[in-house]
Amino acid sequence: MLTRTLSTAKDLLVRNQGYSEIPDVAAYADIEHQWDRGYRKTLEGAIRDGDCTPTHTEIVDYPKNSITFRPLARFSARDRLIYDALIFSAAAGIDKQIRKHVYSYRWDHNTGKPRFWYQPWRRMQTNARRTLESDSWLRMATLDVSSFYEHIDVDILGDDLACLSKSSDKSRNLNRFLVSFQRINHAWGLPQGSDASGILANLYLAPVDEYLTKNGFKYLRYSDDIMIFRRDWTELRDVLSEINRILRARRLSMSTQKTGILDPEDAFQRIHDVRKASLSAACDIGIPGAHIEVRQYFDEVIKEDSSDTRSLRFVINRLAKLQDDYAVSWCLDNLPFLAHVAKEVFSYLAIFANRVEEVQRKLVNFMRSGASKSYPYLEQRILRYFLAMNLLDHQMKESAWLILEDRNREDFPREFASRYLGRAASVSEAQLLRHKFEEEPSITMRRALLMALYESRNLSARYLNDVEEYLPQLKWVCKFLRDEPRIPVS
């Protein structure tokens, strides 16, 4: 059981790097390489011995939009794998307690793996539309919890897990992990950044599902996003009031901005955006002239002063699907306002080999302007783009040195700066990278710098042996590099 859940956690961590808000500097290739050579057994031993508390956590304020943030927990690979495996070990039992009207973070009991988010989300939207179409008089109450993950009480959650397992011993490791996470970081609630947290979040809202089911309400839920259907406005108001009391007992509160009661026509428009559905179908089928419609929609979205993130992501992804470079220049000219959609923007930019020179020039100018310092997520994506496209630029190298040498910056852009410098290092620069490695206090940075030394071709077998002997935290990456791999860029 433990071997299986750890392997599931590893496979998902490696496979989903392309979807990660903060991808790993080497796509966890060292973990993959060493998995069956001792790494998995080390994790199994740690879990069996109860050595499950997080050893290294970086709390990253990741942008939700152009001005607000959410705290992502960036664990070491060891901690992330242990955390996910502990949850996956309990996931089948948790999922059996979750009602069929809940679509998020469901466990596939046949494959022993969590279901990917996209299809369940689509099914929920489809069922919501069918529900409204079945009765033209139905109103819909929408409910969202304010800062849901951050306000989950881990003590209450621990009681829920103990009740589920009939024994506190079986949930002790997971409880200890969550309590330690809160005590040693400027964060609280469930760690964000791991989909495994969503499985626990589902259990935390089970009392809401129970209340709605027992009282015969039609409802659909995706995490804390809940839709409730009823003809009568007063009944919906009353059910929202009761749910608010249930949430308050669990230290949660409803979001006033995202909670409301919609009349039938408004409810249907909320669920089914006819224009987006039409554009999506046109792109999927390849209808002639689809790019013109998508371009027009893009122009409308960017004219809105407060354009919603979902629409911006949607239209950039549609342009990417069509391989239409219409938005390339706009994205490059508006980078400071796009940190929250950096993942989509840089996936889009990477498509167009014919625009590489323009992209390279504008990204270099952005980095050299000093504006990038406020946007570490953009710095990481820019350096990752240059690595993936194999672009060696003297001015970008200067910017990478500034990032690496600034220890007040977050680690994740510094890690990618290290790799970029390793790829482009002269002999003397490689020697300087070795000096940076030896004086660097962060073990995650030392991992990246060791890979940079390897790619600079200035990592001798003798030095690698010394690192493995005296820095045991790096033994797995040392063993990985000893086989002379080609290190991927996620």
430 contacts 457 by C-beta, under 8 angstroms: yes
Give me the pLDDT at residue 188, please: 87
pLDDT at 305 over 70: no
Cα torsion angle, 453, 459, 465, 469, sign: negative
> What are the tens digits of pLDDT across the range 237-277?
999 999 999 999 999 999 998 899 999 999 999 898 889 99
pTM of the model: 0.94
Domain membership of residue 490 (yes or no) is: no
Task: Tell me, rounded to whole angstroms, the distance of Cα 214 from its chain centroid.
Answer: 34
> What are the tens digits of pLDDT across the range 470-490?
999 999 999 999 999 999 997
Q: Which long-range contacts (CB under 8 A, 24 or more apart) does 309-312 make?
A: 309/64, 309/65, 309/340, 309/341, 311/276, 312/341, 312/344
The arithmetic mean of pLDDT across residues 409-424, rounded, is: 96
User: Is 367 found in the same domain as 244?
Assistant: no
Close Cβ partners of 159 (under 8 Å, ≥ 6 residues apart): none
Give me the pLDDT at residue 315, please: 96
DSSP states of 407-467: TTS-HHHHHHHHHHHHHT--HHHHHHHHHHHHH---HHHHHHHHHHHHHTT---HHHHHHH
Give me the pLDDT at residue 118, please: 86
d(CA 38, CA 36): 6
For the chain, what is the domain count?
3
User: Is 300 found in the same domain as 231?
Assistant: no
What is the span of the domain harbouring residue 123? 1-268
pLDDT at 201 over 60: yes
DSSP-assigned beta bridge partners for residue 220: 227
> What are the tens digits of pLDDT across the range 14-42?
999 988 999 999 999 999 999 999 999 99
User: Is 319 found in the same domain as 435?
Assistant: no
The pLDDT-based confidence of 67 (bands split at 50, 70, 90) is confident
Question: Percentage of residues in the chain with pLDDT exceeding 90?
Answer: 87
Domain membership of residue 489 (yes or no) is: no
User: Is 27 found in the same domain as 167?
Assistant: yes
State whether residue 310 is helix, strand or coil. Answer: helix
Cα-only R_g, the chain:
24
Choosing from 268, 296, 316, the residue where a domain stops is: 268
Give me the pLDDT at residue 306, please: 54
pLDDT at 149 over 60: yes
> What are the tens digits of pLDDT across the range 83-126?
999 999 999 999 999 999 999 999 999 999 999 888 999 999 99
Of 238, 214, 212, 215, nearest to 227 by C-alpha is 212
pLDDT at 168 over 70: no
> What are the tens digits of pLDDT across the range 417-453?
999 999 999 999 999 999 999 999 999 999 999 999 9
The DSSP output letter for 256 is: T
pLDDT at 171 over 60: yes
> What are the tens digits of pLDDT across the range 126-141?
999 999 999 999 999 9
State whether residue 380 is helix, strand or coil. Answer: helix
Choosing from 306, 324, 342, the residue where a domain stops is: 324
User: Is 249 found in the same domain as 291?
Assistant: no
Give me the pLDDT at residue 222, please: 97
User: Is 126 found in the same domain as 30?
Assistant: yes
Domain membership of residue 488 (yes or no) is: no
User: Is 194 found in the same domain as 238?
Assistant: yes
User: Is 249 found in the same domain as 282?
Assistant: no
Least confident of 77-91, 169-183, 214-228, 475-489: 169-183
State whether residue 65 is helix, strand or coil. Answer: coil
DSSP-assigned beta bridge partners for residue 226: 143, 221
User: Is 251 found in the same domain as 370?
Assistant: no
Give me the pLDDT at residue 279, please: 94
Domain membership of residue 456 (yes or no) is: yes
User: Is 104 found in the same domain as 30?
Assistant: yes
Do you know the residue count of the chain? 490
Mean pLDDT of the chain: 94
Domain membership of residue 109 (yes or no) is: yes
User: Is 137 found in the same domain as 203?
Assistant: yes
Domain membership of residue 210 (yes or no) is: yes
Give me the pLDDT at residue 414, please: 97
User: Is 353 found in the same domain as 291?
Assistant: no
pLDDT at 224 over 80: yes
